[in-house]
Structures are given as structure tokens and as C-alpha cells.
Amino acid sequence: MWLTADESEALRLSLAVATRSVLWSLAPAIGLAWLLTRRRFAGRTLLDALVHLPLVLPPVAVGYLLLLLFGSRGMIGGWLLRNFGIELVFTRNGAALATAVMSFPLMIRAMRISLETVDGGLEQAARTLGAGGVDRFVSITLPLMLPGVLAGGITAFSAALGEFGAVITFVSNIPGETRTLPLALYTALQSPNGEHAAARLAALSLLLGLGGLLLSEYLARRVRRLLGR
Amino acid sequence: MMLTVAARKRRGDFCLDAAFELPTPGVLALFGRSGCGKSTLVNLIAGLLRPDAGRICLDDVTLFDAQRGIDVPTERRGVGYVFQDARLFPHLRVAGNLRYAERRATGAHFVGLDAVVDLLDLGALMQRRTHDLSGGERQRVAIGRALLTQPRLLLLDEPLAALDAARRDEVLPYLETLRDQLALPMVYVTHRFDEVLRLATHLVLLGAGAVLAQGSLGAISLHPELRSIIGPDEVGAIVDGRVIGLDPSGALTRVRVGRGELKLESPEFAVGTALRVQLLARDIIVSTRAPQALSVRNSLEGTILKIDDDTGSDLLTIDIGETAILARITKVATCELGLTTGMPVWALVKSVSLRGHAFMAGSRDA
């Protein structure tokens, strides 16, 4: 391999954290996207704003809020630790949570755009054919919003690879556990004579990002053809 | 066996308040101008809209009853729906669309996939993607899909309105086949009277959210409210007749209508076939004496029931026994012939003018 041990470790960790973060947020994002697009309920605007909050908050603030909530003595974090022995602070699961929260709005946005193009008339037609609510969602809505699910997933994955502020605040910068590519890059820049390492890591990030974008475009085209658009 | 609907629904400024019945099986046409509430009414029957008040029953099953708090959800009503825009699922092929309905069918099974494919000639389309289909093909698939839910009632909301003339003519015969081969009650929404003429057994005239008239096609064809919707040139009695044989010349089909007989230039029909004939009021000549030495082949003897003023001319309703026909004549003619109600007259119809207005009535009428 033409990557150093540290580099490949950071790369593997980044991929693992991003994958986990996307897998965790996929189902809630689909549900919330559907709720926010198709339902009218009290508090919808507030929920919408909450979901989008990570887009406008400084990532460090998000990381700090996560620490308050999910820290070992936080409301949710303490409960998780006591009942399930799950520890999030200083772990890669914590890094995945931080990136999931940060990339959640991007994922939801892509899904909502796609869901808005799904003709409600088709769901009505499914009703007249005997499909109940869940059946209708699984057999009609979900397949038709698949381009948005894919686009949202890939966008969120790419964003997760680059998440820095929330991660370093919430789970710190531990080699082999939470030091993902951007954190490794930052560490390299902080150390004397680290410029060469930083340049290599930056190039690696660039390749990853470009690859992600190209893959997303390719998949979107495939799915569109599959759906006949 | 009956569909009974009595429903009220307010949507903004528009208020629908309609009640009608369809003795099943039969084809009930909901006919009226655009915006008169036809589509709203079928959506209420399907359960896609909720009435503010009223009752909807199909046979002995209550689908909706505001007072008793019954509202069966659409997916459990057993009511098939063919939308104007077909609404085929784009991520499934034709076969997938049909199986989607087949898998979710709940009611008593009366038609299988193979039968539907045969009935609507879908065999060649099964593996096609829905966006590659023509408008007519899409509608055929949509009809087949609705049938495969084994519905107890089929709603068709202007299924031909989005098609051009050629495509319409391509789909219409399939709808006739459906009516004649499956004893399935249908509610057919349309704003085109020629479709009513070809398909319906019963007619509900809708105007501004209210039922203006309802009854058999023959009875409504004489109704004054129909005239204002279809215009004076299309006014004419629709009479049910029965083929009694060929004219001695062999070129004309003899059809018994009321007490009289008509001779039609039409393809050969078997003796006993039920035919529906529309006699346009403007094509009828009225004589006060039995016609002699005329080239006109058809004369029906009858009695004047009433004389109505209609857009500047007179519209006569003439009882020809069992049924009545309409004739439009000038006021001058009424005056000079001294026509009054109760007078015996002869209605003359050029046989040629019947061409294009002879339709097979539903076989169940035979």
C-alpha cells in the first residue's frame, strides 16, 4: 500500500464512522422526511427548525450540546451507560453520532425534494387497490423516493467523512478511535514538519470526495432509469 | 342489489348535495358539465373524500353513514377506481401493476389474471414499462388493474377524457365488453354524451352539485334538463328496440320500437338482439296523415303528449306506445298543421339518419 499506517488507519476509521452514521440516520430521516412533507400537525414548523439546526449552529456548539446530553453524566448518555453499558464519549460510536447529527439536515433535504415529486395520486390509487398505510408506504412511496434516499445517503456520507468540529468537541482526537481524516489532517498541521503529511491527507480527502460525488451521480442516473424518468 | 348514495359535501364555495340509486348490475353514467361535482361524487363513493353528511350503501353493506359514525376506509371498500390519468405505478411493469392489485384482492373472486388479460388484450403489454404505453394502452391496463381487486363496484372517472378521438374509439369497445360480460355495477363519469349513449343503462344528470334528473337512459333522453346540457342539435329520444328480422329487400334490418317498426341500415344483427337507437329530434318529420308515396322508409304512428317551446321552435313529445320520441318542428308548422296534444300523428325518420346511432344495448337487457 502507498499509504502510511497512520493514514490508512485514519481512512478506515473515517469510512467506518461515516458508514455507521449513515446507517443510523437513514430510517429516522426517511420517517421524518415523510412526516414533514406529507403530514400537517401542530409543532411541524418547530420540528422542521430543530432538524435543520445543525446547519446553522457552529459545529463546536453542536458537539458541546452532545456532550451535555450524551456525556457520561448527561441525560441520555448516563441512562445509556447505566442500562446498556453504552459509552459514547471518546468512542467511534460517539464520532458516528456527532457526524449523524451534523449531516442529518442534508440527508432529510435530499429525501424531501424527492418525496415532493412523488405523485400523491399514485398513493391514492394504491389505496383503491386495497393497500393500507404501511403497505402503501413500502410498496409505492419508498421505491419512488429511492433517488432521494440514495442521494441523501451519499451526501450525508460525504459530509460525515469531513465532519470536524462536532467530532473533536464531543469525542476528542484519539488516534485509532476518533482520529478521522480531518482530525488527522488538523493534527498534522499542528505538528512541526507536518506539512507533507497534511498535503497527503488533503489529497486523500479530495479523492474520496470526488469519488463520492461521481458515484452519487452514477447511482442517481441508474435509479432514474429504473423508475422510468 | 343496489348502490344508494345520499351525500353532502362542502368544498369552499362549492356545495354538493346529491342522492341517487343504481339498481345493480348496470352502468350508471354521472353526466354533467365540468365542475358540476361528478368527480367529487365518485371520490365520496370511493372514500377518498369524506362526506359532511349522508349515507352510502352498496348492496347490504354500509360504506359510509355520518349518523352511525361508519366510514369504511378506501382500501377496504371493495370499490375499484379507474382514474382519468390511469395512475399506473412507474416503478412496476404492466404485469407488476396487475399483480399489485391481484395480491391485495379481498372480495369474492370473479375474474382471474388470465381472464382480464384476455378481456382487455393485455398479453402483448405485460413486460412493457408503463411510460412506454400509449394513452389507450395505459387506460386498458388501469381498467384491468382495477378489475383484479375483485371489486363489487367499479368507478370510472372520465377514463377517456385524456385520450384523442382515435384512442377513445380504441378503448370504448373494451368498456362495452366489460359491461356485457361481467355483471359488475359501474359508475361512469363523463361530460360526453356519446359515451353515455354507448355505455350507460342509467343516467344521473348533475348540475352545480345537485341531481337534476335520474332514471333510465330512455326516460332521461326526454327530460328537459338534458337539453340545456347537450344543446338543441343533440336532443333526441333514446329508445330500446329489438331486431325482428330483415327487410324483404335484404338491405335493411327491421327493429321493433314501441308499437311501430324502424328499418336500419346497419350491420346484420341476430333476430332478438337488443338495440339502442337514438332518434335525433331535428331529423324527424311530423305528418298528420299516414304517409304515402314518400322515399322516407320509417314512419311511427303515435299521439302528441305535449308541445314545448324550445329555443324558438317547438319540441313535440310523441307517444309511440311503451315509449316516446321527440320531434323538433317550427312554430309555423305547428300552427299550420293545427297540432295539439292528444292528436294522432306520424313521425317520419329517414332510415339513413339512424346510421351511427344504433348501439348494442347491454346483453342483460335481452
Q: Which residue of B has its CA nearest to A133?
A: B75
In a shared domain, residues B203 and B320 = no
User: End of a domain among B176, B208, B230?
Assistant: B230
B27-31 vs B186-190, strand pairing mode = parallel
End-to-end C-alpha distance for chain B, whole angstroms: 19
**Confidence band, pLDDT 50/70/90 cuts, at residue A142:** very high
Q: Radius of gyration (Cα) for chain A, nearest Å?
A: 20
CB < 8 Å to A121, chain B: 83, 85, 87
Residue B362 has pLDDT above 70, yes or no: no
Candidates B81, B83, B91; nearest CB to A227: B91
pLDDT 10s digits, A180-207: 989 999 999 998 888 888 999 999 999 9
Residue range B7-18: mean pLDDT, rounded: 86
pLDDT higher than threshold 60 for residue B308: yes
Section B28-52 average pLDDT: 89
Q: Which of B199, B230, B261 is the last residue of a domain?
A: B230
Per the model's pLDDT, the better-predicted residue between B24 and A116 turns out to be A116
Note whether B58 and B114 are same-domain residues.
Answer: yes
Residue in B closest to A223 by C-alpha: B91
Q: Are residues B290 and B305 in the same domain?
A: yes
Do B108 and B122 sit in the same domain of this protein? Answer: yes
Q: Label each residue of B235-280 as H, E or C.
A: CEEEEEEEEEEECCCCCCEEEEECCEEEEECCCCCCCCCEEEEEEE
- pLDDT for position B141: 94
3-state secondary structure of A203: helix
Has residue A28 got a pLDDT over 70? yes
B172–chain A nearest CA distance, Å: 22
pLDDT digit string, tens, across residues A60-105: 999 999 999 998 888 888 888 888 888 888 898 999 999 999 999 9
Nearest chain A Cα to B96, which residue?
A: A139
Residue of A nearest to B106 (CA): A130
Distance of CA B234 to the CA centre of its chain: 15
Q: What pLDDT is attached to residue B212?
A: 86
Q: How confident is the model at residue B356 (pLDDT cuts 50, 70, 90)?
A: very low
Count CB pairs under 8 A between chains A and B: 64
Do B214 and B354 belong to one domain? no
Same domain for B226 and B324, yes or no, is no
Mutate to test the interface with A, among B74, B79, B82 (most CBs of A within 10 A): B74
Asked if B5 and B20 count as a contact pair (C-beta separation under 8 A), the reply is: yes
C-alpha of B100 from chain center: 30
Quote the pLDDT of residue B351.
Answer: 58
- Structure ipTM: 0.80
CA distance B40 to B31: 13
Give the pLDDT band of residue B142 (cuts 50, 70, 90).
Answer: very high
Which DSSP symbol is given to B362? P
Nearest CA in chain A to B88: A122
Give the domain CATH number at B79.
Answer: 3.40.50.300
Average pLDDT, chain B: 84
Q: Quick one: which H or E segment has residue B115?
A: helix B113-119
Q: Is B243 in contact with B254 (CB distance < 8 Å)? A: yes
> Which ranges constitute the DSSP H helices of A117-145?
120-128, 133-136, 142-144
Together in a domain, B113 and B18: yes
**Do B194 and B277 share a domain, yes or no?**
no
Mean pLDDT of B8-21: 86
CA distance linking residue A175 with residue A171, whole number of Å: 11
Contact A227 B149 (CB under 8 A): no
Which residues of B have a CB under 8 Å from any CB of A?
A: 46, 48, 73-76, 79-81, 83, 85, 87, 89-91, 100-101, 104-106, 129-131, 145-146, 149
- The distance of B102 to chain A (nearest Cα, Å) reads 9
Boundaries of domain holding B47: 2-230
At the top level of CATH, which class does the domain A5-226 belong to?
Answer: mainly alpha
Q: Domain total for chain B?
A: 2
Q: Give A-chain residues touching B105 at CB under 8 angstroms.
A: 130
pLDDT above 80: residue B360 = no
In the chain, the amino acid numbered A109 is R
Long-range Cβ pairs for the range B212-216 (8 Å, 24+): B212/B32, B214/B20, B214/B21
DSSP line for B50-104: --SEEEEEETTEEEEETTTTEE--GGGS-EEEE-TT----TTSBHHHHHHHHHHT
* CB-based contact B100 A119, cutoff 8 Å: no
The reply to whether B202 and B312 lie within a common domain is: no
Optimal mutation site among A124, A129, A134, A139, interface B, most CBs of chain B within 10 A = A129
Give the CATH number of the domain where residue B355 resides.
2.40.50.100
- Residue A20: the pLDDT is 93
Closest CA to B328 of B315, B311, B312: B315
Q: Quick check: A214 pLDDT over 50?
A: yes
Looking at the structure, tell me whether residues B361 and B313 fall in a common domain. yes
Using DSSP's 3-state secondary structure scheme, residue A177 falls into coil
Asked if residue B336 and residue B205 are part of one domain, the reply reads: no
Which one of B203, B230, B257 terminates a domain?
Answer: B230
What pLDDT is attached to residue B24?
67
Are residues B106 and B58 part of one domain? yes
